[in-house]
Amino acid sequence: MNAGGWRGHGKFSYTVAMVADREGIMRAGRHSAWAAIGAIGFLLADPGALSAAPCDQYDPAAPVRTARITLSSSDSVDEQRDELRSFVATGSLGHVDARLLSSVPRGAVRSFFAGPLVSRHSPNYGEELKGIAVSVTVQPGRRPVSVVIGLRQVCAQYFRNSFLYY
């Protein structure tokens, strides 16, 4: 009997163990090689993943994002219900393009405005949110109203309709 309680011929069992160990090392090496090749491929496919430069919100050629928002009578700010306001948090102060897409009833919108703004009306300890202020003036006597506006902003990170009014 061998030391350690192993049965069988010492030389044969040692050789099998060494071969099995080498195959395990080679298999682990192959897996890590494929992982390295995959990581290099990812970096070559998207070089911006490592060096994501901050978006220049004052450059009109910078990337833009778009969204649609709907204002309704619940966004009224006065008793006459002739002005609707909202603030859409975007994380950017970049240039804003806005289009009136639809209104119900038709022709109810007298004027509208959408522009970048830092909102300081947050309940979270003086938090300042970057985003888009939206204001719509409605024709008298044309209520209740629903207005859909298309927004497009340079360097917008997200579009979150907030409960804040500027």
What pLDDT shows up at residue 94? 93
pLDDT by residue, tens only, the chain of 166 residues: 555 555 555 555 445 555 555 555 555 566 676 777 777 766 666 555 455 568 888 888 899 999 999 999 888 888 888 899 999 999 999 999 999 999 999 888 999 999 999 987 766 667 788 999 999 999 887 777 899 999 999 999 998 877 655 5
Q: Is residue 68 part of a domain?
A: yes
Omega within 30 of 0 (cis) for the link into 47: no
Indicate whether 70 and 127 sit together in one domain.
yes
3-class DSSP string for 13-42: HHHHHHHHHHHHHHHHHHHHHHHHHHHHHH
Q: Residue 126: is it exposed, middle or buried by C-beta count within 10 angstroms (0-12/13-18/19+)?
A: exposed
Identify the bridge partners of residue 76 per DSSP, sorted by sequence position: 84
Lookup result for tokens 């902003």: 153
The alpha carbons of the chain give a radius of gyration, in whole angstroms, of: 31
Q: Is residue 151 part of a domain?
A: yes
Indicate whether 41 and 118 sit together in one domain.
no
Question: Hey, what amino acid is at 3?
Answer: A
Q: Is residue 141 part of a domain?
A: yes
Q: Write down the pTM of the prediction.
A: 0.64
The DSSP call for residue 151 is: E
Q: Note whether 141 and 101 are within 8 A (CB).
A: no
121 CB-side CA count, 13 A = 13
Q: Is residue 149 part of a domain?
A: yes
Spatial neighbors of 116 by CB under 8 A, at least 6 apart, are: 92, 93, 94, 95, 96, 130, 131, 132, 133, 153
Indicate whether 43 and 75 sit together in one domain.
no
Indicate whether 42 and 104 sit together in one domain.
no
Number of domains in the chain: 2
Q: Note whether 164 and 129 are within 8 A (CB).
A: yes
Q: Is residue 55 part of a domain?
A: no
Indicate whether 26 and 82 sit together in one domain.
no
Q: Is residue 144 part of a domain?
A: yes
Indicate whether 40 and 96 sit together in one domain.
no
Lookup result for tokens 């949110």: 129
Q: Is residue 4 part of a domain?
A: no
| Domain housing 80 | 64-161
Q: Is residue 57 part of a domain?
A: no
What pLDDT shows up at residue 6? 52
